[in-house]
Amino acid sequence: ASVRKGARMKWNLRLAAAHRGIWKASDLQRMLAEHGLVISAGKMSGLWSGDPASIKLDDLNVICAVLGCGVDELLIPEPEKVQRVEHDRQQPAAASSAGPAVTPKRKDGRSLPPP
């Protein structure tokens, strides 16, 4: 399985479905449709394959209802894959070498609101 930058959760739909005797994506797709969640074949493939780009909370709710499971069975935290982003605390060079700050003025002479 590939690890995407920023990936934090493992999607576990296929295993959760298998625990309930659902072995085909098309079977789950039909069951979801019976509960009002119509999913295209392409989106269902993404959900089934294990790496959906996103999922709506309402859709997640229907999936949990159909499978009789909680979100914790579908989304498995993987904190070891969370990357820390280091922020550069230095100011840009252009800002430090510039002269005094320039304050924009309106053409009619009135002052601008504070930033």
CA distance 26 to 36: 15
Q: Is pLDDT larger for residue 97 or for residue 15? A: 15
Is pLDDT at 79 greater than 90 in this prediction?
A: no
Question: What would the pLDDT profile of 19-43 be if each residue is shown by its tens digit?
Answer: 999 999 999 999 999 999 999 999 9
Mean pLDDT rounded to a whole number for the chain: 81
Angle, helices 57-67/25-34, rounded to nearest 10 degrees: 100
CA distance 40 to 4: 24
Mean pLDDT on 88-93: 58
Return the pLDDT at 52: 83
Q: How far is CA 39 from CA 27, 34, 75, in A?
A: 12, 11, 19
Return the pLDDT at 32: 97
Q: Which segment, 7-16, 23-32, 100-109, is predicted with the most confidence on average?
A: 23-32
Is pLDDT at 3 greater than 60 in this prediction?
A: no
pTM of the model: 0.64
DSSP the chain: ----TT--EEE-HHHHHHTTT---HHHHHHHHHHTT----HHHHHHHHHT--S---HHHHHHHHHHHT--HHHHEEE-GGGPPPPPPP-SPPHHHHHS-SPP----TTSPPPPP-
The pLDDT confidence band at residue 95, using thresholds 50, 70 and 90, is low
